[in-house]
Structure 1
Amino acid sequence: MGKYSKFNSFKGFKWPWVNRKYKDTVFRLLFSKDKHALLDLYNAINNSHYDNPEELIVNTLESAIFMGMRNDLSFILDTSLNVYEHQSTKCPNIPLRCLLYVSSLYQQIIDESNLYSSKRLQIPEPHFVVFYNGTESFPEETSYRLSEMYEGRSTDPELELTVKVLNINQGMNKSLMQSCEELNGYSIYVAKVREFSQTMSFQKAVNSAVDYCIENNILRDFMEKERKAVIMYSLTRYNQKGHMKLIREEALEDGIEQGIAIGKEEQLTLIIKNMLSLGKSPEEIAESCNCSIDEVTAVINKSKELISK
């Protein structure tokens, strides 16, 4: 067991700025329930050879969106604290969100009274990885840095945080995919959903993609066991607040599809206002509307200007 096994039990602190409207994802479902899969993913990223899944201490903030960041996976292994996130849109602001998020994790694992001790504390070193599988052109690997967000750039920033971004679309990072069967399987599933949705409804595309994976021994056990959940998360991004919320979101999605078809700025503005009222982040809005973060921000700013007049 790693040296941070004592942090397996976390304090039940309720964060006032945490949004409890977390919506699960297929990515998180795949890796959060299977420590073997999560360990394989870690080894593939770090070229390491850990072989005991029980050494993983999963410390994901359950059922929460922290400052707009949907935390998919966070865990401690040996002396490292790892935060993994899946994104389908570009995410240049994620270093700041990671900074805020990891601060909350440290507050969970460290006794506050020890902060004032004369003895130096030892804490796990944080590492941040984003898995990108959006449709926009993106390099195989890149990094976002907190210092890139500073208004005044310095050559030697006193506070830095780096997020590694890996493109997991089919054809990208082949070595990584070969090293992690589960990640490659997830990438194939997403690619098949997109492929099938070109010729059939999205619901049929999701079902067909699941069937394809099972028939071709791609995440077969996972797909057979979690079929209903995979389809549900893919179609609706299930929200635990219940059926009425789901109905509202389905109605909103219908409006989004109509708005995109119309292509009017006024309609897009209305959609964004509605999504903001439902607690959606700019990233979620961009993903749902199939537009860039910059476009969403521009519409939001214009809306604010109209309100102030």
Structure 2
Amino acid sequence: MYKDTIFRLLFKDDKKALLDLYNAINHSNYVNPDDLIITTLENAIFMGIKNDLSFIIDTHLNIYEHQSTKCPNMPLRCLFYVSTLYSQLIDQNLLYRSTKIDICEPHFIMFYNGKEEMPEKMTYKLSDLYMNKSENPDLELIVKVYNINKGMNPDLMKSCKKLEEYSLFVAKVREYANSMPMYKAIPKAIDYCIEHDILRDFLIKERKTIIMYSLFEYDQAEHMKDIAEVNRLEGIKEGKKEGINDTTELFSWLKSNGRASDVLTAIDDSDFLSQLFAEYETWKNVNFLFF
């Protein structure tokens, strides 16, 4: 999802922003970004899901995950993440010695900004996944969940400007997506936010990257809902929808043929986009004859 990508881009390489986020969550006042040691699992993929952010500050290991949907399985995912992190951070030869190993205390945070209603704050527990849960389970892992949709957790937003502006950006994308397909809503929201000084520098720098990821990553089911809604608004019968209207399908075809640069050009050039649609439709018709 485009939101996950933007969230990672915002905080992954910006220690100052990540420190502000940590301070906002923990009501702390650390001032030196170099106090952070980034430990994000860059190349670790569990069940197709990549770890978003993890870092050490003082003696605490923090694992931050972003979600656009409810995720009661988050504690299990975090269990995989933290065990992998410990295995990377600790010399495993020390495990068999008689002396105690000092380890960082882990903390697990999930930031939620999906469309389904969620309280401002809640928790997910690993024990809630157990088939037969005992009164005092031997293994527990608790994930604190913060709803970061616009209007939620105002104190948290006030303490972390980047998080607040990210929330405003997502809200603006949703507003535009109510009347247009996502491939148009995201660039329009970016332009609006740049004009109104919302994540301005970040969006100027990462504009094409964000749009590129958004076109290839966001949920296909959501995309089809967008297409259906646009067709309805334009008076087009849903039963007549064809592949030519499916922008995600077109861009995937371009990408698979080594033409990702054409995607970037089409983002800002509607005439060129129309040409690509025509080319793609011709290609489909030719291949249909042979297959």
Q: Which amino acid in structure 2 is aligned with residue 184 of structure 1?
A: E
Equivalent residue for 2:69, pick from 62, 84, 89: 89
| Unmatched 5+ stretches in structure 1 | 1-22, 239-251, 264-309
Aligned to 1:257: 224
Output the CA distance in 1 between the equivalents of 2:50 and 2:17: 20
Matches within 5 A, 1:37-56: 37-56=17-36
Output the CA distance in 2 between the equivalents of 1:134 and 1:255: 12
**Which secondary structure state, in structure 1, belongs to the residue aligned with residue 34 of structure 2?**
helix
Kept in 2: contact 1:87–1:132 (CA 8 A): yes
Matches within 5 A, 1:1-309: 25-237=5-217, 253=220, 257=224
Using the size of structure 2 for normalisation, the TM-score is 0.73
Kept in 2: contact 1:59–1:75 (CA 8 A): yes
Kept in 1: contact 2:194–2:203 (CA 8 A): yes
Residues 79 and 186 (structure 1), Cα distance of their counterparts in 2 relative to 1, 3 Å cut? same
User: More displaced, 214-223 or 101-110?
Assistant: 214-223
User: More displaced, 254-263 or 64-73?
Assistant: 254-263
Q: Which of 1 and 2 has greater Rg? A: 2
Q: Which amino acid in structure 1 is aligned with residue 21 of structure 2?
A: L
Output the CA distance in 1 between the equivalents of 2:11 and 2:202: 10
Per the TM alignment, residue 254 of structure 1 is displaced from its structure 2 partner at its CA by 8.6
Using the size of structure 1 for normalisation, the TM-score is 0.69
Kept in 2: contact 1:189–1:210 (CA 8 A): yes
Kept in 2: contact 1:70–1:85 (CA 8 A): no
Please tell me the root mean square deviation across aligned C-alpha atoms, in Å: 2.4
Output the CA distance in 2 between the equivalents of 1:89 and 1:197: 18
Deviations 1:161-217 (A, max 9, x none): 000010000010000001001111111111100001112221221011111111111
Per the TM alignment, residue 137 of structure 1 is displaced from its structure 2 partner at its CA by 0.8
Aligned to 2:235: none
Per the TM alignment, residue 158 of structure 1 is displaced from its structure 2 partner at its CA by 1.2
Residues 90 and 258 (structure 1), Cα distance of their counterparts in 2 relative to 1, 3 Å cut? closer
Kept in 1: contact 2:182–2:226 (CA 8 A): no
* Structure 1 residue ranges (4+ consecutive) displaced by more than 4 angstroms after TM superposition: 258-263
- Percent identity over the alignment is 61
Output the CA distance in 2 between the equivalents of 1:153 and 1:258: 39
Output the CA distance in 2 between the equivalents of 1:77 and 1:182: 20
Q: Which amino acid in structure 2 is aligned with residue 124 of structure 1?
A: C
Deviations 1:96-119 (A, max 9, x none): 111111100000000000001111
| Unmatched 5+ stretches in structure 2 | 229-237, 240-291
Residues 201 and 55 (structure 1), Cα distance of their counterparts in 2 relative to 1, 3 Å cut? same
